[in-house]
A and B are shown apart, each in its own frame.
Chain A
Amino acid sequence: MKQFETVIGLEVHVELATKTKIFCSCSTEFGGAPNSHTCPVCTGMPGSLPVLNKQVLEYAAAVGLATNCTITKNCKFDRKNYFYPDNPQNYQISQLYLPICRNGAIEIETENGKKKIGIHEIHMEEDAGKLIHDEWGESSLVDFNRSGVPLIEIVSEPDMRSADEVIAYLEKLRLIIQYLGASDCKLQEGSMRADVNLSVREAGASEFGTRTEMKNLNSFKAIRRAIEGETERQIDLIESGKAVVQETRRWDDAKEYSYAMRSKEDAQDYRYFPEPDLTPIVIDDAWLEEIRKRQPELRTEKMERYQKEFQIPAYDAEILTSNKRLADFFEETTALCGSPKKVSNWLMVETMRLLKENNLEPEQIPFSPENLAKLIGLTEAKAINSTVAKEVFEEIFAKDIDPEAYVEEHGLKTISDDNALRETIKKVIAENPQSVQDYQSGKKKAIGFLVGQTMKAMQGKADPGSVNAILTELLQ
């Protein structure tokens, strides 16, 4: 049987986190009554003119710098002409001839090691409105709130060979952009959208096969399934002697199958030409240097700093910096309680576990750094033991409760009254002569049982360390 190789390139659209739209001063806020964030410019009224939001240029250049691109010093916008009702002018202002960034690359890491993925270009453009189809009537309605929201499109080189590499590339890209604050990059909400260009060829072939473009991929899982499904479909076609048709396909994640949307033959001629309403952009070195200086700490630097500044292991630093929100959360909590390793543990173990169980992303951590810091404070003061702490943490995660108040209310505080503890321990010793004998005859492990019995008698509200110390003392 022939061996096939999959060749993948991505087109990633990212919605930039500007407060206002790319060519007018309307709000980019998500939601809002239909057409409440609109003006003559973003609804394509006759006579209106676009004015570039400088923040868009800054974000695009920042992403370009962070992905090792060359910034086009003389760039400009072009018009992409096509008719569709969500596109009020029937042209989209985009960049074809001189995009802002070109020739970049980022490094990804998979099980197979490290690899560079080339970035062909990054260009700026405007988003379209949204069509709402009236299910009962025969009409469709248009909401232009999203019309004119700024996007960048990041076009990779066809450098990826597997779903793993694609996911690694997307995760890396997302992290970079999140760290820059240029976008929140939420796939589900559409602030990051990826189209997959995929072809297969016989292993070792030097020519690319015919590619298809896959759209409607709303999650990493969908992307993985789509890549696997499309690879299989194309190989089946080739093996049965049929040709792959160059076309755009829509992935249906529920059915795990893609459908042809349009072939190359029906591909539209977009009649691109330079946008006459916007003057060419001339980027000077001083401005670019300023953007470079303002670049926030990216992941690699942050990982190094965490190990140095907070004395946490490399492993912890890697996990904590894998997500910008997680890293921020770590720093905020550490600043409050001063115990970085403890914060790291809570985030890496319990927080991650509960996020996963609840199907949440780190962006959605449902509690405040204040309450986690208080919880860590309670454990450090030995006011509660670790078992109780875990219980309390579940409450924090569920309802963001104040752990101090909660522990007080529910009487979960460790009983630090030495006498009461001594009395209980004496009772436990008296009730378990066999274990006492085992311990005294050298089976030191037997003390574990006695500690357990004591904790049980204390209803868990004792500090295991103190129990251990008193037991050792009394058994001598």
Chain B
Amino acid sequence: MSLMSLTAVALGEKIKAKEVSAAEAAKEALEAVSKREEQIHSFVTVDEERVLERAAQVQKGIAEGKYTGILAGVPVAVKDNLCTEGMLTTCSSKILENFVPTYTAEAVVNLENAGAVIIGKTNMDEFAMGSTTETSAFGVTRNPWNTDFVPGGSSGGSCAAVAAEECSFALGSDTGGSIRQPSSFCGVTGMKPTYGTVSRYGLIAYGSSLDQIGPVAKDVTDCAAVLECIASHDRKDSTSIQREDYDFTSALVDDVKGMRIGIPRDYFGEGLDGEVQEAVMAAAKELEKKGAVVEEFDLSLTEYAIPAYYVIACAEASSNLARFDGVKYGYRTKEYNGLHNMYKKTRSEGFGAEVKRRIMLGSFVLSSGYYDAYYLKALRTKALIKQAFDQAFSKYDIILGPAAPTTAPRLGESLSDPIKMYLGDIYTISVNLAGLPGISLPCGVDSKGLPVGLQLIGNCFEEKKLFRAAYAYEQTREYRHCPVTER
């Protein structure tokens, strides 16, 4: 049995107990990578030499008592929109195909300080724009459960890598569901913390007011342990918040007696797959059996979340991605005639279709004459959605629903119909608009053998309630290793 089939915490304990070394763990991760990458393609960059060197260094650090945490020596995969000093960071875009940052993202620094070993950088939808990891400039990632299907996106590489057991856990980023949706498709557990909990410093921005880094792992315990490590108040990020409750693992208690759980009727309407609905409702029953008070309610405004999200995220993206111009770093077109031609050719050749679509959409909604009608209205909608959640959380501790309307679609099915693809984000997007924490965890498989994800949503700064409910549910079922890991 591979060490990579263990949870991060279980492996961390073995390393702590000196049963295995960081180097052995790293080697097994690299072996899994070399065995499965051809089928799955979770990674953009894996630097074996660097991994082994780092693992040896960490092992030394463990022996010297420098690394004492549970993640010391544990292999981690990092989404390729997180800057890593001296290591290629591409956002899966041609425009950053040669970009090597001079500094490391704060969340990754926190992991490194805990002794985690970075195995590589994972594939993603280009600049995190997409729901399938098919918009990557470096090829698609396939779902480890069935390679004819997508892993979801945009953190598809991170989620596939965890499911395919090429690493112990991973970091993803979530702007509209980019951790929770692919976690659901890949049968792993992924969580998006409250906005401001994990520093965004070094995360290459997509929609700055919505982006949040979070863990992708095999179970809830790992998610809590990883969040405990990466969450910090960072003065380099003005939107980072000082919290008092970083001890998230203390919330891992199998007890939901009296916990009030609300199920929004809005999430169970048109478009929701019957099998997904069944699995999610069964999960709600399990929690009810454990003593939670489960009831249905009307959240309202759900249908406005998608348009508001695409206006705000694209507006911010159109500005955030302006810096990729061929002047300072990244790709520059080979031949050009003057400055403006260089800009135009570089960006035309460097960005993919989905990124261009969103830049154009974002530029349009910010244009003079349209700003009030689109951008300002979207901001107001965002505020109303937050109010709707505030109201819900005055009655419920947790909101329960599906992470996505369906299980993973087939490769190539989504990009031809972007509107349909955008609608797939319906259950995850409003969580980002309201800045809330959300977690997606497996709750079954459909008749195609593809995983179904359960989403739990908490109020701002109430990750602990989220972890407690998720942990309690998780105790009712076994972790299912995906078929690819048996080969």
A: residues with CB less than 8 A from B are 40, 43-52, 79, 81, 83, 85, 88-91, 142, 269, 271-273, 276-279
| Docked CA distance A90–B318 (Å) | 11
| Docked CA distance A379–B68 (Å) | 77
How does the 8 Å CB contact mask read for B346-365 relative to A, with 1 for contact and 0 for none?
00000000000000000100
Residues of B contacting A279 with CB < 8 Å? Answer: 238-239
Partner-binding segment picked from B20-28, B196-204, B408-416, B420-428: B196-204
Residues of B contacting A142 with CB < 8 Å? Answer: 327-328
The answer to whether B101 touches A277 (Cβ under 8 A) is no
The answer to whether B319 touches A91 (Cβ under 8 A) is yes
In this complex, what residue of A is CB-closest to B339? A85
Known contacts A85-B327, A85-B339, A273-B315; A47 and B236 CB within 8 A of each other: no
Residues of B contacting A272 with CB < 8 Å? Answer: 366, 371
Residues of B contacting A278 with CB < 8 Å? Answer: 238
Known contacts A40-B102, A44-B328, A277-B208; A81 and B239 CB within 8 A of each other: no
How far is the CB of A425 from the nearest CB of chain B, in Å?
Answer: 80
* B167 CB within 8 Å of chain A: no
The answer to whether B343 touches A271 (Cβ under 8 A) is no
Pairs across A and B, CB under 8 Å, 21 listed: A40-B103, A44-B328, A46-B91, A46-B96, A47-B83, A47-B204, A47-B205, A48-B201, A49-B201, A49-B238, A81-B318, A142-B327, A269-B367, A271-B366, A271-B368, A273-B366, A273-B371, A276-B316, A277-B208, A277-B238, A279-B239
How far is the CB of A103 from the nearest CB of chain B, in Å?
Answer: 24
| Docked CA distance A142–B89 (Å) | 24
Known contacts A40-B102, A45-B103, A142-B327; A269 and B368 CB within 8 A of each other: yes
Instruction: Out of B209, B238, B319, B325, name the residue touching A81 (CB < 8 Å).
Output: B319
In this complex, what residue of B is CB-closest to A46? B204
* B237 CB within 8 Å of chain A: yes
Known contacts A88-B328, A269-B368, A273-B371; A47 and B319 CB within 8 A of each other: no
| Docked CA distance A269–B327 (Å) | 22
| Docked CA distance A269–B318 (Å) | 14
Known contacts A43-B328, A89-B322, A91-B322; A49 and B371 CB within 8 A of each other: no
Residues of A contacting B343 with CB < 8 Å? Answer: 83
The answer to whether A83 touches B366 (Cβ under 8 A) is no
In this complex, what residue of B is CB-closest to A89? B323
In this complex, what residue of B is CB-closest to A85? B327
The answer to whether A271 touches B238 (Cβ under 8 A) is no
Residues of A contacting B105 with CB < 8 Å? Answer: 47
In this complex, what residue of B is CB-closest to A275? B208
How far is the CB of B459 from the nearest CB of chain A, in Å?
Answer: 20
The answer to whether A276 touches B209 (Cβ under 8 A) is yes
* Extra contacts besides A49-B200, A51-B236, A276-B209 (13): CB < 8 Å: A44-B328, A45-B101, A46-B96, A47-B82, A47-B101, A47-B203, A47-B204, A49-B236, A79-B319, A90-B322, A273-B371, A276-B208, A276-B316
| Docked CA distance A47–B202 (Å) | 4
Chain A at the B interface: mostly helix, strand, loop or mixed?
loop
B: residues with CB less than 8 A from A are 81-83, 89, 91, 96, 99, 101-103, 105, 200-205, 207-209, 235-239, 315-316, 318-319, 322-325, 327-329, 339, 343, 363, 366-368, 371, 375
How far is the CB of A473 from the nearest CB of chain B, in Å?
Answer: 81
The answer to whether B323 touches A88 (Cβ under 8 A) is yes
Instruction: Out of A43, A83, A271, A277, name the residue touching B239 (CB < 8 Å).
Output: A277
Residues of A contacting B328 with CB < 8 Å? Answer: 43-44, 88, 142
| Docked CA distance A269–B319 (Å) | 13
Most buried by B among A52, A142, A271: A271
How far is the CB of B374 from the nearest CB of chain A, in Å?
Answer: 11
The answer to whether B238 touches A46 (Cβ under 8 A) is no
The answer to whether A273 touches B375 (Cβ under 8 A) is yes
In this complex, what residue of B is CB-closest to A24? B236
How far is the CB of A31 from the nearest CB of chain B, in Å?
Answer: 22
The answer to whether B238 touches A51 (Cβ under 8 A) is yes
The answer to whether A81 touches B102 (Cβ under 8 A) is no
In this complex, what residue of A is CB-closest to B96? A46
How far is the CB of A325 from the nearest CB of chain B, in Å?
Answer: 37
In this complex, what residue of B is CB-closest to A267? B368
How far is the CB of B273 from the nearest CB of chain A, in Å?
Answer: 34
The answer to whether B101 touches A49 (Cβ under 8 A) is no
| Docked CA distance A53–B188 (Å) | 42
In this complex, what residue of A is CB-closest to B234? A49
The answer to whether B83 touches A83 (Cβ under 8 A) is no
| Docked CA distance A45–B318 (Å) | 16
Residues of B contacting A52 with CB < 8 Å? Answer: 238
The answer to whether B238 touches A90 (Cβ under 8 A) is no
Instruction: Out of A44, A269, A273, A276, name the residue touching B323 (CB < 8 Å).
Output: A44
Residues of A contacting B201 with CB < 8 Å? Answer: 47-49
Q: What are the nearest 7 A-B pairs in CB distance?
A: A90-B322, A271-B366, A276-B208, A276-B209, A47-B202, A46-B204, A47-B83
How far is the CB of A246 from the nearest CB of chain B, in Å?
Answer: 16
How far is the CB of A400 from the nearest CB of chain B, in Å?
Answer: 45
The answer to whether B204 touches A90 (Cβ under 8 A) is no
How far is the CB of A80 from the nearest CB of chain B, in Å?
Answer: 10
Residues of A contacting B89 with CB < 8 Å? Answer: 46
Most buried by A among B91, B207, B328, B368: B328
| Docked CA distance A50–B238 (Å) | 7
Instruction: Out of A40, A43, A51, A90, name the residue touching B235 (CB < 8 Å).
Output: A51
The answer to whether B366 touches A81 (Cβ under 8 A) is yes
| Docked CA distance A43–B207 (Å) | 20
The answer to whether B322 touches A46 (Cβ under 8 A) is no
| Docked CA distance A469–B219 (Å) | 107
Residues of B contacting A89 with CB < 8 Å? Answer: 322-323
How far is the CB of B80 from the nearest CB of chain A, in Å?
Answer: 11
Known contacts A89-B322, A89-B323, A279-B238; A46 and B101 CB within 8 A of each other: yes
| Docked CA distance A194–B9 (Å) | 62
